[in-house]
Structure 1
Amino acid sequence: MSATATVPTNPSVPSGRAAARVASSDVRVTFPRLVRSEWIKLWSVRSTWWVVPITVIAQAGIAWLIAYFGIDQMEQAGVEVGRFTAGELVGGIQFAQLAICVLAVLTITGEYSTGMIRSTLTAAPTRTPALLAKGLVLLVVAFVTGVVGTVLSWAVTYPVLGETYRVDLADSVNQRIFIGAPLYLTAIALLAFAIGALLRHSAGALATVLGLLLVVEGILSMIPWTFFEKISPYLPMSAGSQLVQTGSPDAVLSAWEGYGVLVAWGVVALAAALVLAKRRDA
């Protein structure tokens, strides 16, 4: 003899597909909520807490070294030392961008390596809002990090340079460089994030980003062929770095034109990543 257990049902509590419809109607996945979720995820991993301070310290530390030893060496050599420029004080940005690239790549590839991206894309099945929210959070963090690093670079060199060598903040070129430093880091973060979204593999994406910025550009600039000489100024770092340099009359691109080229690299790469995200499995 067997007994069949019956589970009492509550008519006020829907089940199955009805429950799913109720749950989905109660909690709407809006873009602001996606941004908030990505913000929490970004700050819940150790890499963020390591990379952001390293970026700031590297940028400010190198600025201090340039100011301190630059004055000392020139005075010992008997060279007349004039006022320092903002371009010299943001010299540490070349190292800071490497740390930002690591953060940008890991922001997207880390979820693919752990499989968490499936949960993210399940919540936002159209995929584009989720990736844009992730990218937006990263760009905000990169910009704020660049602002803090630039301000700290000026602050730590202020007592070292003194009244004689101090950067002239009224100079328009110095203003442009100080404003451009965090913008440059933000654009580099965009490019690195887009490449990470395209490749979805941490090692491969980092190798591609760093190879493009450090190896490919350096090699092409040294090849004495007209074709390479013409395209070299339009490569990402060569173009974007014009924004944080004092400028040269021989430069092919102006400061803001070069920055526009760098941003275009990032936007095109991100657009390609968004298209592929809809066509590939998570």
Structure 2
Amino acid sequence: MSATTTLVAGRAPAADAHVTFARVLRSERLKLWSLRSTWWGVALTVLLMAGLAALMAATLGSAASSPGIQETMSADPRLASPSGAVAVTFGYGFAQLTVAVLAVLAITGEHSTGMIRATYAAVPRRLPVLWAKLLVVAATTALLAVVGLAAAWLATASSLSADGLALDLSDSEHLRALGGTVAYLVTVAALSLGIGALWRSTAAGIATTLGLLMVLPLLFQVLAGSAAWAQDVYAYLPTVAGERLVATGPTPDGLLSPGAGFAVLAAYATAVLAAAAVAVRRRDA
């Protein structure tokens, strides 16, 4: 018995047990994809991105013969310039909610179960865990966005072609909208992961993230009608700024250009992740 114990203990510090970033990355990938909620979230998001795209394609087709629908759509900057890219990318508004929740859960789930203590015991430096989670979440989000866009294109190709609004991959603006959707969702996921790392609570992390992504833009949109300063702030909110990379057509007054808007969103994500890195290093598990 003692000999066996000694042998096992003697193998513990062996070279093949050395913790490397590649192994931490593999561990985080297995953690995320072993959750049933991840598979359900991915499947539901792809289906809804395709469904919402098909609905928007039908709406664009109806707008061609209905001035009332055209007037209603023109009030939304995202729909002011109808095109195939608008229809195919339309579902990103829902997808951002899914990836935000998945990103928050990727780190708060371990805190809620106490598994994070075992993780940090295996990786005492801690920061490799955060960066591995970031890479896994970013890669998962990029894959989800690409598959969702592909499903959306398949669901809308025939109706958009019939209405003369087919997605044109030779159009740089259409390509920017497609690539921008992927970049936007990945950045939102990174921002959400950082918020989750700061709060370490699933409820608080999701509430904060959804409030930042959904509630604040609505609040400032209402305030903008009576206060000029609110309109200025509105343009620099994370989602409002980042969505400019997905939008097509002329830039509306008061909003940022696509490049500047995405830079603002990326700055938010970078700042939150930097704060999360400091917190992960300094706080107890």
163-172 or 28-37, larger mean C-alpha shift: 163-172
- Does the CA contact (< 8 Å) of 1:83 and 1:168 recur in 2? no
Larger C-alpha radius of gyration, 1 or 2? 1
162-171 or 191-200, larger mean C-alpha shift: 162-171
Q: Name the structure 1 match of 2:18.
A: 28
TM-score (norm 2): 0.87
* CA shift in 2, pair 1:125/1:242, >3 Å: same
Superposition pairs of residues 233-248 of structure 1, within 5 angstroms: 233-246=235-248, 247-248=250-251
- Does the CA contact (< 8 Å) of 1:83 and 1:166 recur in 2? no
* CA shift in 2, pair 1:83/1:102, >3 Å: closer
Q: Name the structure 2 match of 1:232.
A: 234
**Distance (whole Å) between structure 2 residues aligned to residue 205 and residue 148 of structure 1:** 26
Q: Name the structure 2 match of 1:158.
A: 157
- Does the CA contact (< 8 Å) of 1:63 and 1:92 recur in 2? yes
Structure 2: gaps (5+ residues): 71-80
- Does the CA contact (< 8 Å) of 2:51 and 2:152 recur in 1? yes
**Offset from partner CA, 1:237-270 (integer Å, 9 cap, x none):** 0110001111415254211211111111111101
* CA shift in 2, pair 1:15/1:107, >3 Å: closer
* CA shift in 2, pair 1:243/1:15, >3 Å: closer
**Distance (whole Å) between structure 2 residues aligned to residue 159 and residue 15 of structure 1:** 63
**Distance (whole Å) between structure 2 residues aligned to residue 84 and residue 263 of structure 1:** 27
**Distance (whole Å) between structure 2 residues aligned to residue 25 and residue 100 of structure 1:** 37
**Distance (whole Å) between structure 1 residues aligned to residue 6 and residue 193 of structure 2:** 44
Alignment size in residue pairs: 271
**Distance (whole Å) between structure 2 residues aligned to residue 48 and residue 15 of structure 1:** 36
267-276 or 243-252, larger mean C-alpha shift: 243-252
**Offset from partner CA, 1:158-190 (integer Å, 9 cap, x none):** 111225231222221111001111111101101
Q: What's the offset of the Cα at 1:54?
A: 1.3
* CA shift in 2, pair 1:34/1:83, >3 Å: same
* CA shift in 2, pair 1:226/1:76, >3 Å: closer
Q: Which amino acid aligns with 1:211?
A: G
* CA shift in 2, pair 1:79/1:234, >3 Å: closer
Q: Name the structure 2 match of 1:175.
A: 175
111-120 or 151-160, larger mean C-alpha shift: 151-160
Q: What's the offset of the Cα at 1:140?
A: 0.2
**Distance (whole Å) between structure 2 residues aligned to residue 182 and residue 26 of structure 1:** 37
